[in-house]
Every structure is written in C-alpha cells, then in structure tokens.
Chains A and B, each alone.
Chain A
Amino acid sequence: MTPVHARTGQRQPIDADPVLKLEGITKRFPGVVALNKVDFDVRPGEVHALLGENGAGKSTLMKVLAGKHQANEGRIILGGEEMAFENPKHAKRAGVVLIHQEQSLVPEMTVAENIFLGSLPKKWGNRVDWRKLREDTNAILETLKCSFQHDDLVGSLSIAKKQMVEIGRALVFTPRVVVFDEPTASLTDHEKPVLYDVIHSLCEQGVGIVYISHRMDEIFHLSHRISVLRDGEYTGTVNTCETHEDEVTRMMIGRSLELDHASKPTDFGENMLELRNLTVKRIFEDVSFNVRKGEIVGMYGLVGAGRSEVAETIFGLRTPVAGEVVLDGEVVNFRSTHDAVAAGIALVPEDRKDQGLILGMNCRDNMTLASLSSVSSGGFMKGSAERSVYDKYHQAMKIKTPSWRQKVGNLSGGNQQKIVIGKWLHTHPKLLILDEPTRGIDVGSKAEIHALVKDLAKSGYAVLVISSEMPEVLGLSNRIIAMYDGRVTAEFDGDSVSEDALVQAITGMGTSAPAAATA
C-alpha cells in the first residue's frame, strides 16, 4: 500500500487575478476572537481548498463571506469592488453562494420549487410561471447531469441527489464564487465523482470554488491551492502540486500525525459476537460473521448496503425474520434496546446529533444516560457519583469543555463523539459497535478516537466498526467484512487486503465467486 502521507496533487495553480479577495478579516464574538486578520482569495476557475480543525474558523470565515455574519474589520473585494454584504440574499445576488453542510430543502416540494424557492419566475398578476420554471429547472438539471426530474418530490430523493438540488439552487443566480462546506460528508464513494464533475464544470465556466473538507484525498484530488486556518489565524497558502499531506497537516495542527497501522490489536480471545444467517426482510439477507474478544472487525460497504441495519438488528432495534444473534455463547435476538444494553452491547450511532445525544442536556447528564443505575441508590441519583464518572472520561479522553454544565449541543463534533463513546464505556459493554465513528470530525480528534478504539480492543473489548472511509477501515480493522446490497460479499484480512479487492467487493463486482480470505 502506498504511504498515505506522501500524496500530493497534480493541478497547477491558475494564474489569474482573483475574483474574490478577503483582506484582514477580523470577527469577534463576545469573549472570543473567531477570526484574526485573515486573508483569503479565490481566482476564477480555481478550486481553493480551505482547511482547519473544527473550531479553526473556516465556517465563520465563510459566513462572513456569504453575508451571514458581518466582519468587525477587513474588506471583501468581489471583482475589484469592495462589498459589504448585509445578508445572505445580498451576497447571493452579487454572486457569492454558500452550499450548506446541513441541507435546507423543503421535502414536500418538487425539485423545481426547491431550486427556485424564494425566486419563483412570475408572470402577469403575480402568478407562478410554471412553464418557465420547468424550462429553467431542466436547464439547470442538465448542467448538473442529474438523473431525476424537475417534478420529483425532494423528500423522495437520496442524500446525494438532494445535494445536487442544493447546488442547483446556487446556479439560479449566475454565481461567481461558490463555497462548498463539507459537501461529501454524507456522500458515498461512488456518489462523489458526480459532485467532482459538477465542480469541474463550474470551474470551466470560470467560477471560483472554495472547498472546505476534512478529507485529504478529496482536497488533493480537486484543489489548485490550499489555505489553512488555525485557531482563527491564517497560517498560509500553498500550491497543491508543491505540497503533500504531511505539510498540510502540520500547518493545521502544528504537528504531524502518524496513521499508525502497526498498533492494531493482536491478541484475540473467544467469540464474543456471532451472527448466524441473520435476515431482515427486504434489508439484508443471510448475514454471518463473528467478532472475537480483543478484535476490531470493520464493516465496509456503500450507504444502503445494510451495514447500519445489521448493527441495529444486533442492538434490538429491528426484528430478524431468520437467523440468530449469539452473544458470548448465548442466542440472544434482543427485542428492545434496553435488553441489549443490559446484556452488554453498546452502539455508537451513525448520527450523533439525532441518535447519540440529547443536545439540550449538559455533558455530565449525557455521559451517565445509559448507566443511571450505576450512579443512583434507592432510585435517587448521587450527584457526586455522576461527577466522578464524568471526570473520569473527561480526563481519559481529553474532552475539551469548559465545564460539565456545558450543553453538548455547543460542543464540536469530536468532543460530542467522545461523550457518546464515554457514555457507552461506562456501561462496561462486552461488544462495542461504532457506526461511522469519525464522520465530520477534524483530523486531530479523529486520530485520538482511532487510538482510543485500538486501546479498547487491546484491553479486551470486542469492537465492530462500520465505516465508509477506506483509510479508517484499513487502519483499524483486524478483519474486514464487505457488504453489498444486503449481503456479505467477502471477508478480508485487515493487513493484507488490497484496496482494489475491497472496492470490488463493495460494488458488487465479482460477487459470483466471493473471496474468503479469513484471518
């Protein structure tokens, strides 16, 4: 395998006057300087990647650019003219569009209505001009090479397609600068090329692209230049073809990170979990594999392959029509999560905010949520016991919070995820299932979570990791279960598998002869 950190980009920087220039942008919030004299520019036809850890100020900078926040100091110069955007609509009309991380579409409306939301073409008498709407929408869908129709309901589209609708919105006003904020966070590997194509074609039309992402592979694949922010300060800009991942990482976090393949657990015990021909109607079929004590098993596949659903079935959220879940030698087939938790299963869910945390609750209360009985006596909770549980994991996992009273909704993704993991560790589970444990988390926290997972396995936990990120699966797993379309297509040894073989297994190529290279 090629060493990950040696990667550099191919694209030569584009030589042109910038279409957009930010000079000395400073943004203060009460008590915080979010941005301190930041410079940034975008040239027409260029993809300029903006990097930084969570909290570095990327989103704030982009919100200043798109008119959501107003800078305290500094200038925004668009096409040679100094601008002062008072609101997002103003910025949009001037040609600066932000494509959101969280989608803001109306699911009950059609694609066309969503794309032209707030700017529907009108004809005499303030009536909607449906024909023009249809034609304009079709023109936009054609530019984006979309496979869906203008009258499809947005709610019925996949996440990737919804994102296309979101991008389509940006094209309504002839954009000069388009900002993509983590656009691939919810896309699968085979949906990404479609997005890349759209970005390329925008570039060809001379649009300047700002691309925010945590994923190095994308950034090196797409961008011409890379700028880095750290703690609200601008640390520099480099040409993608003249740098490599290590340098960029160092610029981001002030040190370099090792993706440590050697530190995988090696000492395995008995079977902790065994699935025997597990089947859930119309979702997945005949799934069998095992996880041993002290072992990390990765589950790799595309979104929709049934990975999360397998985890949910183990956890008692779905009822199988056939097959068995065997935990520690006993057939269990849980019917409620309460039973699953009591028996020692922990599930760190895919979506932290929707499934993992009570956002309005403080850090301590979230931490003890799954193990209240361990901190209460006679039905009453003991505040001191709760605090010591919180303190223990707060220290052990280096969670950054001002105090336990902080609401978890106000924490960054990495710290939120650590709280979810801490919550489960305190239940002392036999089996830890992690579904996309580092989605949307900055590189620093990501490495910490990876190290933590390995340490947990070494201390005897059986760990099942579901991930859509190949480096994560390869870097963590002793064995890898590949799933495609509701079936296990192959099982690989985590150290010797090739990337090609993995990709083939999860895209359904060569499923007729499933390779069985077990550890």
Chain B
Amino acid sequence: MMSIKGFFRGRAAIQPIWIFVIAIFIFFSFMSEYFLSLGNITNILVQTSTIGLIALGMTYVMINGNIDLSVGAILGLAASLAVGLQDYGLTIAIIAALASGMLLGAINGLVVWKTGVNAFIVTLGAMLGIRGLIFLYTGEQSFYSMNFAFSDFGASSIGPFPVLAIIFLLCTLVMHLVLTRTGHGRNTFAVGGNPEASIDAGIRLGRHMMINFIIVGFFAALAGVLLASQMGAATPNLGRDYELWTITAVVLGGTKLTGGYGSIVGTLGGVLAIGILRNGMNLMQVPAFYVLVVLGVILISVLIIDKKLNVPSTKEVRI
C-alpha cells in the first residue's frame, strides 16, 4: 500500500483515473477485435468530445468552489439557436449560439457572486429556466439544418483525424495551460481553496468566478453547436442529463467538489474512462443499461480508492 501511495504522491499530475483508463484500454483490446484500431479510437474521441468540452469548463468552475448544473440546458439552447438562426447566415447563427452560452454563464456567475446564493441552487434554477426557454423558442419542434456546410463539418476530417477530436484535444491543451500557467488559473485554485484568504491577498474573487462561469457557458454552447452539426439537427431535449455526465467525468478525474483541487489532465482521464467504457461495452454487445450500472459502480469505487489513497499519514505529523 505504501508504495502505491508514494507513487501517486510524488506525481501530483497523474491521477488514479489514468491507471484505470489504461487498464480498461488493455482489457477491451483483448476482449474485442474491433476495439484497437485508429478508426475506433478517433471514434471514441469524437463521441466524448461533447461531454469532454463541457467538462473542461466544469473543471474550472468546480476548482473555483462552484458547480454549474445548467450546462445541459445551455447546450440545448445553443444547438437550437445554431440551427434555427441559419436563415440569417451561418456565421451569425453560430456566433449567436456561442454568445448565448457566454451570456447565460455570465448571469449565473453574477448571481452567485452578488447574492452569495449557493451555485448549486442558482444553476439548478437556471437549468429549469433555460430548458423552458428552449421550448418557448422552438415550440417543441426539432430543427433540421438545410445548410450542408454546417452538417458536413461535424463529420469532416483532416487526414485520418476527425475535426471534432482535434478541436477537443486542442481545447484541452489550451485549458490545461491556462489553468496551470496563468494568474487566472492560480487564482481559481486559491479562491476555491480558501475564499477568505484570497480576499485578504487582494484577489478579485467575483471576477474570477464570473470568468469561469462564462468559460463553462462558452464550452457548453460550443459543445451544443458541434453536436448539432454532427446530427445536422437540434431537438429541444438535446443535452438532458449532460450536466450529470460532465460532473461524473470531472469528479472521476480527481477534482474535488469542495474546490481548490483538480486538474485538466485528470478531467481528460475521466472523460476517456466514460468514453472507453461505453464504446468497449458497446462493441462487446453489452446492453446499454448495464453500461449505466457499471459506470455508477465505478464512479463510487474510484472515489473510495481516492479517499483511501489520500488518508493523512506521515506528512500530517506536525505534533
């Protein structure tokens, strides 16, 4: 046990989830002949890109000590706008979709900051409200894209690499760098770790909180646009339960719900774990319900293992 603990302590960047990702990767490589191929692996990246993109923003918000439950609804709204506004031009439709996400994120952030009401409650309300807006806007109808540039984009590739996978990996890299290398990233950790001490250090807590809500709003909207482009359509129910999948991925990746701790590398691991499990079990023709059961069990198991590994020991001896 000691050596395992030491292993993880020394390498803060390596989350336990990556061991798990590698393990299931090897497992499915043996279990299914279709699993280990470039086509399937890029396919996993495309399938996870939607939740993955939102999870990047969610990681920031959660490290910051907040949570955003409205991401699924923002995704749905952005998807509907991106398809529904195409009469005014594709660019305008996409810009409007992304802007709606950032605006709603800004409102979430502003309310949390100014009122001090728990982000869980504020964004729970936003989740219900925004879903209502989608139905108002669409009149319960699905929209289909008549613009082939839009619907082809979601399936396009550069060489053997699907564009969606490339976008997701690029965003992951940028978000990782911003979190670990910039003042905003550092202050995000500080505010989540101890808001009072952050204020004492002259950090503008509200500003960082708002920026992070805008970031997650942006990524939810981006995920919505890309998902709509993949399907060539938008349905009013699009993005239901995505907030739960996203939070699952982020928590699997080792980010603490209490704030102050987490990483994009871990989140990528969490996203891939979900993606590989779904894909692999699908290839093994396991019924979809079992996949849910397995994921639920794994989420709880990973957190139990994490808790065991983080038991205070030698270094806590301060006397």
Binding site for B on A (CB under 8 A): 29-32, 34, 54-60, 317, 336-338, 340-342, 347, 349, 354-361, 365, 369-370, 372-373, 376, 379-381, 406-407, 410-412, 423
Contact = CB atoms under 8 A, between A and B. Distances in A.
Chain A interface SS verdict (over half): mixed
A38 B31 CA distance: 60
Contacts of A356: 197, 200
B193 A355 contact: no
A357 B201 CA distance: 9
Given A338-B203, A355-B200, A370-B202, A360 B261 contact: yes
14 contacts: A29-B314, A34-B319, A54-B318, A54-B319, A55-B319, A354-B197, A355-B200, A356-B197, A357-B197, A358-B189, A360-B261, A361-B189, A369-B190, A376-B183
Given A356-B200, A369-B203, A381 B319 contact: no
Contact of B182 (A370, A379, A411, A423): A379
A412 B317 CA distance: 10
A349 B193 CA distance: 17
Interface in B160-201: 177, 181-184, 186-187, 189-190, 193-194, 196-201
B33 interface: no
Contacts of B307: none
A347 B204 contact: no
A373 B183 contact: yes
Interface residues of B, number: 30
Interface in B252-276: 260-261
Interface string B277-319: 0000000000000000000000000000000000001111111
Nearest to A369: B201
A59 B319 contact: yes
A218 to B, nearest CB: 21
B318 A55 contact: yes
Contacts of B184: 379
The 7 closest A-B pairs by CB, nearest first: A341-B202, A358-B193, A370-B201, A372-B183, A30-B314, A369-B201, A29-B317
Given A349-B197, A360-B193, 7 more contacts: A340-B202, A342-B202, A358-B193, A361-B190, A365-B186, A372-B183, A381-B182
A412 B194 CA distance: 19
A340 B319 CA distance: 37
A411 B190 CA distance: 18
A411 B315 CA distance: 9
Given A336-B204, A358-B194, A380 B317 contact: no
Contacts of A412: 318
Contacts of B202: 337-338, 340-342, 370
A323 B183 CA distance: 35
Contacts of A58: 319
Nearest to B315: A410
Interface in B193-224: 193-194, 196-204
Contacts of A337: 199-202
Contacts of A410: 315-316, 318
* Centre residue among B184, B198, B201, B314 by max chain A CB count within 10 A: B201
Nearest to B185: A381
A30 B317 CA distance: 10
A59 B316 CA distance: 13
Given A58-B319, A360-B193, A380-B181, A349 B203 contact: no
A381 B183 contact: yes
Given A376-B182, A379-B183, A349 B200 contact: yes
Contacts of B186: 365, 369, 372, 381
* Centre residue among B202, B204, B313 by max chain A CB count within 10 A: B202
A194 to B, nearest CB: 29
B314 A360 contact: no
A337 B205 CA distance: 10
Contact of B196 (A55, A355, A372): A355
B290 to A, nearest CB: 37
A407 B314 CA distance: 13
A183 B201 CA distance: 30
B319 A30 contact: no
Nearest to A336: B204
A60 B194 contact: no
A286 B143 CA distance: 67
Nearest to B190: A358
Nearest to A316: B202
Nearest to A357: B197
A370 B203 CA distance: 7
A495 B265 CA distance: 59
* Centre residue among B187, B197, B199, B261 by max chain A CB count within 10 A: B197
